[in-house]
Each structure stands twice: as structure tokens, then as C-alpha cells.
Amino acid sequence: MADSESMSEQEEPAGGQAGGSAAAAESGAGLVGSCWQIGDWLADPTLDELRCGDQVHKLEPRKMLLLMALARRPQQLVTLDQLLDEVWAGVVVTPSSVYQSISQLRSLLGDDASQPRYIATVPRKGYRMVAAVSEVTPEPAAAPAQQVQPMPPSLPESMSVAPVPAVASAAAPAVPAPRRRLLLGGSVAAAALLGSGGWWAWQRVMGMAHMPAADITLAVLPFADASAKALEQSLADGLAESVIGVLSRHQQIRVTARATSFQFRNPQALAPQAGQLAISHVLSGELQRWQQSLQLKLSLHRAADSELLWRHVLDAPAAALSGLAFSAANAALQALGTTPLPASVLPMPAADAYELYLQGLQHQRGGDIEGILKARDYFQRAIDTDPGFALAYVGQAVSWIGEFNYGKGLSLRAMDARAQPLIDRALQLDPELPLALGAQGSLLSQRGQDDEARRWHERALAMAPSDATLLFWAGAAENSAGWPARALGYFSKAAQLSPLSPQIQHLTGVAATNTGRYETAEAAYRRAISLAPKHPNGQWGFGIIGFARGRLDEAVQGYRKALLINSNRPWLWEQLAWIYLDLGLVDDAGKAFAQFQAQSPQPAWARVSAVRQWVRAEDRMALTKALAALPEQSAERDAVIDLALLRLLLGQQDVALKTLGSVIGLVLADPVPLYNEWETFLGQHVWLDVAAIYYAADLRDKAEPFIEQASSYVERYAKQGNVWHAIGYHRARIAAMRGQPEAALTALEDAYRLGWRRGWWLTQDPALQSLRELPRFKTLLARIEASNQVQRQTLMSTT
């Protein structure tokens, strides 16, 4: 930042100070009877005046204290903490009070921050008085002309109030400096509120029956845009979201997430659902922006009946935009009667950078890849404007993670190489930034470093326990790590903060499905559909449940409904194609595979996957032709392994080994996992595919390390509470390749009992070759085919 004046809080009037002048407020400072020549200006602390020729400025006492704190140390750095301790002793404020007061002093002195003649900014540290300073003794003068006392901050017409009773101006008791930023109460709170809302606002707060902080759930609604021509709505929305982010760091109250609170435009609209959403209070706001200044009018309402409890007005220079969210959050906390946040919780970027960041957030919240890419551009511009803005680096990193998760062709390694340096930079700038800590946890989860990821998520939530995004990320990481019960705990907390978020409900359904709690999963997916009927994930969830339970006709219906809502979901097409193959609907599978190939960001994998239709049709000629059309080399590692596996089906053992050999070095050396919980749930495991190729070639010594690692992985997931029919299939492959046919058959029977219906692949899998002539194996195949035939007929009769 070129200048530190980037955060603002309404300055408290003289009535809220411990005395009527700088001299009285700073007893023992040696200023009584002395004036100070500061450049062209004569400062009189006794009268709180600045004089230069015919110009006379009457200063508020605290501004004179600030000027004196700098003048007593000419040419020396005076830090923010020193100024807060000396000028605002006993008052809970943020550095924004310093920034605003410095800006006002510069204006009175005729100073320019870019070419200072009086007060120079030392970025991120404090200020220096660069003008010549000398102490002078004024000559005795006649009785001074009557001075006009400064008027208190003006109130909007709708907030005009009676004069403040004298008791409101009582001095605040001194608070020890180390506790100053953590304590707020009594007359100190009154002084802060009088600065921007007047006596009426304070009367209302005093009349509120404050509930315990732990019982408060505050919903921050999108702020209204009251600016000329209403061109600032995105800024108003972004500012409200920033207030939510600040409040989420409070250790007691809860703040409702944006995904829920932003569905209501005013407290009256929310009131009918307040009880169902467990919201106790509502904060609304109205933002007005002029060229050089900002005004934010805040209103606090009781949620149940939308009764107005409190109003507050924050005025700030335009350059102080980035501090407005913090000031608004602490004003609301004071009104609720709970402990405000310390001033250190919020970074203070340049106003232009902060506005670019807010615009990026609005695009990122769109929930589509186009919005993510637009957001990335805004975040980069914010970084270019202020390279010290930590949140902008986090936004940029999250955009890369989002692009990867949308499956648009960005590999995990490429994403990681882009996201990690950005997170590193954010944490270097702000080691305790919750979103940076959470993003690091999510990135580690993507790499499969589950224990490390958990530690980072725990650190993030310790800093911001009421942040639904962090809870969601932590839950997703636990689910990915194979701990669905832990994931459900995080999702439950996230849903309490954002009960109207369909995405939380969707992942709740996934985690519940993993634990075999299908009724819970169905309820979550029904909730997701009711919240977002035009989003495919709810219907897809019912497809997932159908597959998990072996009800393939229901699975097909769920996938079809999801793809009717959004047909541009390549991975859903592939999953549907495989379920069609399970049911013996080869033609339908071919059409679904065609859609997958047309949309997939991984063309090699899509082409190899589609070859499965000829395996299912037992058409050896078509299979041979399809494989011949595929290239042997590809940058897509998994596609090459799958191609080698298919070569075995044609008896091309040497070709299969050669194909596998082209990528086996990468398989062994690559730190990126070749498996994850979702693929394991679907019945895929690359380690076991590699082992099956070696096993079929009678290279058991090469197969065993892959079998061992896969076994450890599968058993860990089973012990952690995952109830997947595919676990039985994986165990059967492991036991069969280790020469344990009875254990393999028992595992397959368990898989069938839980819903495994992929009988056609049991007849093709090289790992199960030794089982195919056994009676129990044939009996199991017959049972699978009978079940699938009934479901196939049911499906065809309903379409």
C-alpha cells in the first residue's frame, strides 16, 4: 500500500473522552501553557486550536492528542500501537481510528500523503512527523473571542434525537493498555455508539434484553445499494459478505452463512422462517457511496418479529473501504452486548485492491466454471494493486482448486503447482488467516495427505469457528480421507449456519451413503432438491444411493433426471454408462459413452472407458478394432493402465506388459495418489489393476507390493466406517491373487448382499480368473443376473 489509511471507524465525539481538551486528557505531559510550532502552523493544546495567519481550526481534543504524540517525536517513527495506547487509552477502537484521524489532520494542515510536508506514512508500521517542530511560549493575550464549539457528527434526518443527557459524557474509566482491544463495556460502549448513531441508538441498545452470546445466531442480509443510479450493488453485497467473514471469527456468537442469509432482502422476509432457521437476530444495511466518501447505515432487528432494536451509521472516506466491514461487525457485536473482536483480526488492504477482491468473490460465488475464471482475473488485479493483500492470494488459489474440481482438464499436479505458492504467500503475509489455513488443508486433502490436512483445518476453525465454508471444507476432507462419520459432524455444524445451502445437503448425503445410513442420505438429497430444484446434484444423489444399494433401476432414474437438468456433466454420463452395462443395456451404454467422449476433459480415458461396451457385448471383433484405434502412449496415466488391462482380455499379454511398462515408473514415483474414496466406492482401484496385469503374467513378486498397498488402503476405509459393496469386490480380488479362493468367494457374497451387481465384470477381471469354474462363483453370477433382469424389466416398463 502507498498509504496506510485504508480502514475507518467513526470517530468518537468529545463527549466520549476522558476530559474536554488534550491538556486535560494527558495530564503530566508538560503541555499546559505551551504551544508548538509545527511547520507553518501553531498548535495550542490548551485551546485545542491550530492557527496559521488568519486561519483558525478548532480540533477535537483527541485529534490534538494525536498531533502532539507525533510532534513530540519529530522525524521519529511512532507506531500504530503507540498511538493507540497514548491517544485512545481506555477506549476500544481499531487502527481505523488512527487512519481516519491522520487523514483529517492532513486535510487541516494542507498536507498531501503522496508528498508529505507534515505527516509521512511508514507503510504497515505507523507515521513520522517530518515538519520542523519547536516549543514556543505564547504572549499573554486579551480575552479570546467566543469560539464556536464543534458540532457533533450530523445524524440523518430520520435519526434526529433529543440532546444527549449530561450523564452520557461521563469519563470512561481507564483500561490497562494490554486489554484495551479486548474489552468493551459501560460508558466506553456508549461513547463508541454516540460517535455514529446518537443517543437514540444507544437508548435502544440499553433497552435490549441481551441474551448470552452463545445463544446468538446473527444473519447478515445483503446490504442495499443507496448510491446514485444504484451502481454499487456488487460492492454492497461483497461488503456484507465481508462482515459475515469478520463475524465468523467470533468465539461465541454464530453467524449465518451467505448462502442462507443472502436469500432474504429484508428482515421482514426472513421473520417467518427465523425459528426454523434458528436465527435470533438480523443485521441489515444500506450503503451509499460518493466520490470521496462512504456511508453505511446499519440496523439490528430481532429475527422472530423483525422488530428494530438498534441503528448505527458509519461514515468513512472512500480510501477506508477495506476497514468498513470490521467496523460494522464490531458495532453489531457491541449492540448485541457481546465482546468485540480485537483490531488485529482483519488485514487492511488498499481500497482499490479490496474492491477488486469483492468483485472477484461475487463471480466466484456463481458456482460455475465461467464465474471462477472471471474471479481469478479480479483476484490477480487485486494482487497487482496491493501485493501485500493476503486474501486475494487465497481467492486466486481457490480458483485453481475450483477449476480442478470442476473437471475441466486441469490435472492435480498442475493445479497443485499453481495453488500452493499462492497459499504460501498468503500465509507468509498473515499466518493466522483462517481462509488461508483452510485452503492449505483442502489442498493437502487433494494430495491424499489426510492427517496434515486435518491439522490445518483444525487450526482454521480455531480461528473462525463460525465459518460455514471452513466447516464445509473440513467435512469434505474427512469424507475424502474415509471418515464419513467425522464428515457428517462437520456438515451438521455447517448446515446449522447455512440451512439453505444445497451443496452442504448434497455432501451430507454422500457421507451418509458411505456409512450405509440411506434414510439420512435420502432426506439430505430431498432437502437439496427442494432448495435447488434446477441443480442436478440432488437427483444425482438418488442415483448414487440406487447404485450403493444395488437398485440399479433407481440409479438409472436418478442419473437420468440429473442429466435432464444439466446434460453437460461428463462424469455422470460415464457412471450412467457403466450402470447400463450392469443391466445389459449395451446400446444405451454406447449412447452415454458417446456423450462422455464428447464432453470429457480427458479424451484418452474417455475413449478407453467406452471400449467396455464391447467387453460387455462379448464382441471380440469390435473390441479388437476399438483397441487397435487407441494410441499406446498417453499423458493420461490411468488411461494407459486401463488400456493394458483390456489388452489382457484379448490375450495380448506381452503387449499389455509393454503398455504398462511405459507408465510404471510414474506410478511408482508420482506422489499423487492413484486412488481415492470415490473411485473405490465405484469399484475402481488402479493399484489392483496393476497387480492384476502382473498376476495374469505370472509375475507374482511384482504384483504383491501393489496388492499389499491396496489391501492396506481398502481395510483402512472399512475400519473407518465405510459401508460399500465394492469393498467386498476389492477384497475378493486381493484374496484371489493371493491364492485364497474361499476368502475371495466369501468377500464376493458379502459384496452381493450389500448391492454389488457388476456381474459381467466378474467374468472378465484377470484377478478373478482362478474362481470362474468354482460352483459358488457360478451360483453368485446367476443370482446377480436374476436380480438385474428384474430391474431391467422394471426400468423398461417405466420409460
Report yes or no: 731 and 714 within 8 Å, Cβ to Cβ.
Answer: yes
Is the pLDDT confidence value at 175 over 70?
Answer: no
Report yes or no: 20 and 176 within 8 Å, Cβ to Cβ.
Answer: no
d(CA 268, CA 256): 17
pTM above 0.85, yes or no: no
With 0-12 / 13-18 / 19 or more C-beta atoms within 10 angstroms meaning exposed / middle / buried, residue 318 is middle
Model confidence over 626-661: pLDDT tens digits? 999 888 777 788 899 999 999 999 999 999 999 999
Is the backbone of residue 636 left (phi > 0), alpha (psi -120 to 50) or beta? Answer: beta
Spacing of C-alpha 695 from chain mean position: 45
> What local confidence, expressed as pLDDT, does residue 25 receive?
36
Least confident of 470-479, 600-609, 749-758: 600-609
Please tell me which residue, 216 or 21, carries the higher pLDDT value: 216
Q: Which residue, chain included where needed, has cell 468465539?
A: 251
Is the pLDDT confidence value at 144 over 80?
Answer: no
Is the pLDDT confidence value at 101 over 50?
Answer: yes
Report yes or no: 396 and 383 within 8 Å, Cβ to Cβ.
Answer: yes
- Helix (H) / strand (E) containing 401: helix 390-405
d(CA 87, CA 100): 13
Identity of the highest mean pLDDT range in 12-16, 150-154, 245-249, 674-678: 245-249
Residues 395-408: what's their mean pLDDT? Answer: 88
**Can you read off the three cell numbers belonging to residue 544?**
448414487
Q: Which residue, chain included where needed, has cell 453485497?
A: 237
- What architecture (CATH level 2) is domain 194-346? 3-Layer(aba) Sandwich (3.40)
Residues 66-70: what's their mean pLDDT? Answer: 91
> What local confidence, expressed as pLDDT, does residue 724 receive?
96
Q: Which residue, chain included where needed, has cell 486474501?
A: 391
d(CA 715, CA 504): 28
The fold adopted by the segment(s) 14-145 is Arc Repressor Mutant, subunit A (1.10.10)
Residues 6+ apart with CB under 8 A from 105: 63, 66, 67, 111, 118, 119
Coil, strand or helix at 433: coil
Q: pLDDT band at residue 85, thresholds of 50, 70 and 90?
A: confident
Is the pLDDT confidence value at 103 over 60?
Answer: yes
Least confident of 187-201, 646-660, 669-683, 765-779: 187-201
Report yes or no: 545 and 556 within 8 Å, Cβ to Cβ.
Answer: no
> What local confidence, expressed as pLDDT, does residue 99 receive?
76
Please spell the DSSP secondary structure of 670-715, one letter per residue.
--S-S--HHHHHHT--HHHHHHHHHHHTT-HHHHHHHHHHHHHHHH
Q: Say which amino acid occupies 650.
A: L
Residue 588, phi then psi, degrees to nearest 5: -65, -40
> What local confidence, expressed as pLDDT, does residue 673 receive?
65
Report yes or no: 391 and 6 within 8 Å, Cβ to Cβ.
Answer: no
> What local confidence, expressed as pLDDT, does residue 344 receive?
64
Share of the chain above pLDDT 70, in %: 84
Residues 139-144: what's their mean pLDDT? Answer: 44
Closest-CA residue to 9 (of 450, 222, 312): 312
Is the pLDDT confidence value at 193 over 60?
Answer: no
Model confidence over 320-363: pLDDT tens digits? 998 999 999 999 999 999 999 887 655 678 999 999 999 999 89
Model confidence over 693-736: pLDDT tens digits? 999 999 999 999 999 999 999 999 999 999 999 999 999 999 99
> What local confidence, expressed as pLDDT, does residue 24 receive?
35
Please tell me which residue, 298 or 168, carries the higher pLDDT value: 298
Q: Tell me the chain's radius of gyration from C-alpha atoms.
A: 33
Least confident of 136-150, 391-405, 499-513: 136-150
The fold adopted by the segment(s) 352-588 is 1.25.40
> What local confidence, expressed as pLDDT, does residue 654 receive?
94
Is the pLDDT confidence value at 792 over 50?
Answer: yes
Please tell me which residue, 436 or 668, carries the higher pLDDT value: 436
> What local confidence, expressed as pLDDT, does residue 208 receive?
52
Coil, strand or helix at 250: coil
**Can you read off the three cell numbers belonging to residue 218?**
446473527
> What local confidence, expressed as pLDDT, does residue 309 receive?
94
Residue 413, phi then psi, degrees to nearest 5: -65, -40
Please spell the DSSP secondary structure of 323-358, one letter per residue.
GHHHHHHHHHHHHTTSPPPPGGGS----HHHHHHHH
Closest-CA residue to 102 (of 85, 115, 121): 121
Q: pLDDT band at residue 48, thresholds of 50, 70 and 90?
A: confident
> What local confidence, expressed as pLDDT, does residue 60 receive?
79
Domain extents in the chain: 14-145, 194-346, 352-588, 678-797
> What local confidence, expressed as pLDDT, does residue 632 receive?
74
Least confident of 294-298, 360-364, 669-673, 691-695: 669-673
Is the pLDDT confidence value at 464 over 90?
Answer: yes
Model confidence over 560-575: pLDDT tens digits? 999 999 999 999 999 9
> What local confidence, expressed as pLDDT, does residue 12 receive?
31
| Mean per-residue pLDDT of the chain | 84
